[in-house]
Amino acid sequence: MRQKEFEARDIQVKNEASVVVVVWGDGHTSSIPVSRLRGYCPCAVCQGHDATGVKFIENSCKAIFDAQLVGRYAIHFKFADAHDTGIFRWDTLRKLDPAEVERWGPPETSAKS
Ligand SMILES: [Zn+2]
């Protein structure tokens, strides 16, 4: 059974503010900077294949060109720097909320679990 806090109810890309705003099943709203999403992109190109931790990719990405749902569990972002292999599962996305760093701890890779 899906946990409400990892159930995205609404996702809006706000390029004018360089953030992605997500409303979650538990009522929480996350506002996540695009550069943070790009930096913690979970794809193999960015993170490599060893799952020993997540590295932050330095970037100056401020916009997302396209966002598409992947089934009912994830979203695929095409970043303005032309990087387009990042698929963020809901739990990965939620844990990137800068307002909840203390709740979730450091970002994890999607590859785990
Ligand atoms: Zn990536």
Q: pLDDT by residue (tens digit) across 50-64?
A: 766 788 999 999 999
This prediction's pTM? 0.90
CA of 69 to the centre of ligand 1 (A): 16
Contact of 59 with 40, CB cutoff 8 Å = no
pLDDT digits over 20-42, tens only? 999 999 999 999 999 999 999 99
* CA 43 / ligand 1 centre spacing (Å): 4
Distance CA 27, CA 79 (A): 27
Q: Which is it for the CA torsion 51, 62, 82, 59, positive or negative? A: negative
> CATH classification of 4-104 is 3.30.420.40, yes or no?
no
Q: What is the pLDDT of residue 112?
A: 44
Residue type, 61: C
Band of residue 71 on the pLDDT scale cut at 50, 70, 90: very high
CA of 75 to the centre of ligand 1 (A): 13
Q: Greater confidence, 74 or 107?
A: 74
Measured in angstroms, how far is the CA atom of residue 2 from the centroid of ligand 1? 25
Ligand 1 centroid–CA 12 distance in Å is 20
